[in-house]
Amino acid sequence: MKVNVSEITDSPDLRRVFLEVCHRIYSKGFAAANDGNVSCRVGDNFLATPTGFCKGDLRNEHLIIVDAKGELVEGKYKPSSELPMHLAIYRLRKDVQAVVHAHPPYCTGFAAAGLPLDRCILPEVVMTIGSVPLTSYGTPSTEEVPLAVSEVIRSCDALLLANHGAVTVGEGLMEAYFKMERIEHYAHILFIARQLGGEVLLSSEQVEKLYRLREESSAAGLNAGCWTCDRLFGGECPPEGCPLGYTPGSKPSTGEDLSGVVKAAKGVFGAGDGEEGYGF
Ligand SMILES: [Zn+2]
């Protein structure tokens, strides 16, 4: 189910879907204790999870609404200390309506091992998500995390946070959640393939066919392709170069100063910290 929140304001339907996403995150084991956070646009503001709550226990009265600076607009609870990461993403990606952050075990295992999910192995992942890059490490609840995410989020819809977890974005809440489910499934399968002797990469011809299908079907999202195509395409880039225009071995980060994007929400750093604990 895809819910475009730009078409629904803060409706009961939106809150129902929001809570459904939170409950699925916990029931699928994507976040332990009070870990993980979810948000979506509601006009110029954002519906978000409060800090300190287990996603499996969240009810409507726990949800909060914050503005673009992270100030509380509605609700009784404090925002998550990871809210600035969400706000930085919304600032950089006007198309993004929802952000999901969790710690699914296989994705987080790859993130802890320093391994991005950026190889063309599963057709459905190439078609729907593309590369899942690994950001540089950031201390949770500091501006290091939104900065690291800001460097890659304009080129992908899913990413791994080094030694931490994963982030997915979408044009709707369920879409962002399903991307999280899909990359966790992908990481799980890749883990099994490596126990069995290692994955077999799709060939450049196979990948290009998928890219063509992807373009024809106008699959949603950015579908970042080959960021390290010297490795993706069976050890070699196609002679004509990467179909998506990336230079072999290059990363989408431009090296520009993104601190302004993060500073806009700086006032809320630490806002969610305290007796309830951090909102990892
Ligand atoms: Zn986290």
Per-residue pLDDT of the chain (280 residues; tens, 9 = 90+): 444 444 446 688 999 999 999 999 999 999 999 999 999 999 999 999 999 999 999 999 999 999 999 999 999 999 999 999 999 999 999 999 999 999 999 999 999 999 988 888 898 888 888 888 889 899 988 899 999 999 888 888 999 999 999 999 999 999 999 999 999 999 999 999 999 999 888 877 787 788 788 878 876 566 666 554 433 333 445 555 555 454 444 444 455 667 776 665 544 444 433 334 445 6
Residue 168 is predicted with a pLDDT of 97
In order, the DSSP letters of 227-273 are: SSHHHHTTTS--TT--TT-PPTT--S------HHHHHTTGGGTTTT-
pTM, full prediction: 0.84
Q: Which domains does the chain have, with CATH numbers?
A: 12-251 (3.40.225.10)
In this prediction, residue 263 carries a pLDDT of 65
Task: Say whether 74 sits in a helix, a strand or coil.
Answer: strand
Predicted pLDDT of residue 1: 45
- The CA-atom distances, in angstroms, between 23 and each of 16, 55, 177, 187, 244 are 11, 6, 11, 21, 37
Alpha carbon of 112 to ligand 1 centroid (Å):
13
Distance 230 CA to ligand 1 centre (A): 31
Adjacent-strand bridge partners of 42: 45
Considering only CA atoms, which of 269, 140, 146, 120 is closest in space to residue 208?
Answer: 120
Cβ neighbour number for residue 260 with a 10 Å cutoff: 9
> Residue 251's pLDDT is what?
45
- Ligand 1 mean position to 140 CA, how many Å? 7
Of the candidates 82, 143, 171, 175, the residue annotated as catalytic is 82
Is 82 marked active-site? yes
**At a CB cut-off of 8 Å and minimum separation 6, what does 255 contact?**
none
Compute the distance from residue 113 Cα to the ligand 1 centre, in Å.
16
Quick one: pLDDT at residue 279?
55
